[in-house]
């Protein structure tokens, strides 16, 4: 499953922005529109020559705009975006499980090692040391990565939204004396379902039938009931 999800994350389309995409500012179903920091115009990519949907960003490595872009991952030689984010996340989950499973096997092998002769024990000990040197830091690094993306999923954020846009928006909110609330945060449970899907039995599989078109996202404003006058 680890190798399978790794292959899916590499080969899957991260979600390209349609060249004919045009934001409809008069659509009452769209509660927010993302604009440029300077000028207040709708976001437009000069390199791709089209408008950017909400949460989309241009990747200078892929040379294209990616829907709900999280980051460009060198380990899969692909962008992690709207269409392959779940496959990437599930791959990291299986990779962490595989690392700790390998560590358990490594420790268990020490008991078997004590029952063999001294010459074989020395040769196996070298293998154990080399394996441990690879597995321990690899397990820690992947566990940190997994924890980071669990946090992002529960907040319904991407790495770009958390690191770049989030920090800037928080600073602007503090200067204006307001409290910033991420517009795509629907609550922990709804955030989880938006990424992993409504069927809990499909959470361990890289299914994507539930993710939508990536051009429109539900916001917290959509769930606020209108106040009657």
List CB contacts of 151: < 8 A, sequence separation 6 or more.
none
pLDDT value of position 221: 75
pLDDT value of position 226: 44
- Please list the active-site residues: 73
pTM: 0.84
What tens digit of pLDDT does each residue of 75-118 get?
A: 999 999 999 999 999 999 999 999 999 988 888 777 666 555 66
Dihedrals phi, psi of 132, to nearest 5 degrees: -65, -40
Nearest to 16 by CA among 41, 53, 43, 44: 53
Q: Which is more confident, 228 or 197?
A: 197
For 61-68, what is the mean pLDDT? 93
- pLDDT over 60 at 37, yes or no: no
Q: Which is more confident, 72 or 177?
A: 72
| CB 157, CB 181: distance < 8 Å | no
> In angstroms, what CA-CA distances link 115 with 119, 126, 187, 210?
12, 17, 54, 53
Nearest to 214 by CA among 67, 28, 50, 8: 67
For 147-164, what is the mean pLDDT? 91
| CB 67, CB 120: distance < 8 Å | no
Domain assignments of the chain as residue spans, ordered by start: 1-202
């Amino acid at each position: 499953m680890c190798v399978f999800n790794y292959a899916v994350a590499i080969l899957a389309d991260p979600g390209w922005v349609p060249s004919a995409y045009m934001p409809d500012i008069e659509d009452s179903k769209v509660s927010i529109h993302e604009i440029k920091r300077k000028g207040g115009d709708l976001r437009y990519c000069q390199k791709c020559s089209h408008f950017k949907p909400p949460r989309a960003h241009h990747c200078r490595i892929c040379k294209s705009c990616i829907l709900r872009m999280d980051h460009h991952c060198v380990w899969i030689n692909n962008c992690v975006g709207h269409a392959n984010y779940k496959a990437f996340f599930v791959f990291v989950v299986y990779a962490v499980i595989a690392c700790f499973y390998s560590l358990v096997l490594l420790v268990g092998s020490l008991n078997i090692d004590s029952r063999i002769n001294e010459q074989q024990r020395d040769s196996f000990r070298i293998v154990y040391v080399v394996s441990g040197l690879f597995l321990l830091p690899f397990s820690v690094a992947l566990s940190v990565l997994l924890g980071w993306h669990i946090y992002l999923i529960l907040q319904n954020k991407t790495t770009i939204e958390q690191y770049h846009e989030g920090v800037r928006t928080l600073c602007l909110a503090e200067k204006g004396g307001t409290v910033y609330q991420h517009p795509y945060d629907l609550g922990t449970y709804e955030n989880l379902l938006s990424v992993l899907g409504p069927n809990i039995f499909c959470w361990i599989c890289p299914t994507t039938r539930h993710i939508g078109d990536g051009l429109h996202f539900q916001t917290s404003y959509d769930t606020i009931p209108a106040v009657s006058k």
